[in-house]
């Protein structure tokens, strides 16, 4: 079984579905509200587990009412929480999300996620040493992102860095990642580049291998120096929240099959994930991905 370690955030998502986004100073009536587990780290852990991997999550919750729900949800997906700490007198991370027309707007309050430490990553070394891949995102302190990249490098385990939400990072950190997985906007921020520059040119100049996500248009990666496009799978979109997380999880789980296959499966998994409300609601099982691939040739 593929083993994945995820280092990242755990949030409770407070999701409002509405007919459109609200403007500054405006009040509108929404259609539906739900409280569902999220956070990029937790989402990637859940997606990887549903795709058949054995998964451990390095992270933090607070000790509030959300913490119990979040931990129970992760445990129910068979995710190892040995290295997920529960912090006294801390709130758990939250994300206030508006979903309108399949798009979303998100405000994250990191709370306990801001206390995921490099020491936790060091303590998880023996787990990381046995992993096939490590996933890390940027809703936790940057020093912990760096520690994850360095521990992965030291142990010879591939680290996939999902640079979201994006910040400019030093080139020597990026060189430690096996793949960096931004969208077009995140790639420009990550490299401190002009956002209008062609993404293929930016990919060419990045100091690390890039798998670039393009939503419904699929993804781009490079093989033997040349840009390669993997088309997206056409589906009806209910909620795109968590599609990127599903993509990253699938890339990590199927990386051992080669980057071309992994990116194709990642696009299929991400497409399936957008059919239901909530980041984790539509995340597929491995069989669902194989069926979609078989149907679409």
Residues that bind ligand RIB (CB under 6 A): 9, 11, 13, 38-40, 43, 95, 106, 108, 139, 241-242, 244-245, 279
From the list 64, 172, 245, 287, the catalytic residue is: 245
Q: Using the 8-state DSSP alphabet, how is residue 210 labeled?
A: B
- Whether 245 is catalytic is yes
CA nearest to 145, candidates 191, 123, 176, 188: 176
CA nearest to 248, candidates 232, 266, 271, 268: 266
Q: Which residue has the tokens 């490079």?
A: 222
Q: Which is nearer to ligand RIB, 43 or 181 (CB)?
A: 43
Q: Which is nearer to ligand RIB, 55 or 157 (CB)?
A: 55
Q: Give the separation between CA 283 and CA 213, rounded to whole angstroms.
A: 17
Q: Which is nearer to ligand RIB, 38 or 73 (CB)?
A: 38
φ/ψ of 105, rounded to 5, equals -130, 135
Beta pairing partners, 111:
none
Q: Which is nearer to ligand RIB, 102 or 192 (CB)?
A: 102
Q: Which two tokens stand for residue 168?
A: 């400019």
Q: Which residue is nearest to ligand RIB (CB)?
A: 38
**Preceding amide of 71 cis, omega within 30:** no
- List, by residue number, the catalytic residues: 245
């Amino acid at each position: 079984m593929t083993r994945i370690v995820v280092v990242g955030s755990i949030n409770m998502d407070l999701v409002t579905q509405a007919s459109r986004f609200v403007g500054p100073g405006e009040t509108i009536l929404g259609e539906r509200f739900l409280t569902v587990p999220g956070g990029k780290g937790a989402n990637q852990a859940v997606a990887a587990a549903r795709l058949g991997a054995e998964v451990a999550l390095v992270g933090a919750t607070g000790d509030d009412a959300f913490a119990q729900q979040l931990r129970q949800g992760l445990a129910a997906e068979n995710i190892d929480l040995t290295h997920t700490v529960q912090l006294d007198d801390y709130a758990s991370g939250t994300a206030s999300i508006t979903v309108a027309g399949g798009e979303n707007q998100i405000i994250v309050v990191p709370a306990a996620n801001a206390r995921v430490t490099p020491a936790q990553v060091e303590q998880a070394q023996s787990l990381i040493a046995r992993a096939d891949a490590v996933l890390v995102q940027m809703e936790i302190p940057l020093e912990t992102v760096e520690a994850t990249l360095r521990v992965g490098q030291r142990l010879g385990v591939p680290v996939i860095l999902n640079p979201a939400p994006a910040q400019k990072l030093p080139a020597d950190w990026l060189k430690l990642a096996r793949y960096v997985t931004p969208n077009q906007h995140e790639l420009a921020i990550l490299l401190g580049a002009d956002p209008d520059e062609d993404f293929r040119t930016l990919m060419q100049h990045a100091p690390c291998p890039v798998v670039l996500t393009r939503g419904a248009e699929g993804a781009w990666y490079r093989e033997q120096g040349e840009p390669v496009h993997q088309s997206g799978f056409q589906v009806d979109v209910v909620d795109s929240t968590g599609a990127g997380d599903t993509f990253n999880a699938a890339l990590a789980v199927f990386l051992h099959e080669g980057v071309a296959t992994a990116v194709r499966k990642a696009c299929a998994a991400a497409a399936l994930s957008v059919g239901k409300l909530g980041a984790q609601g539509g995340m597929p099982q491995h069989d669902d991905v194989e069926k979609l691939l078989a149907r679409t040739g």
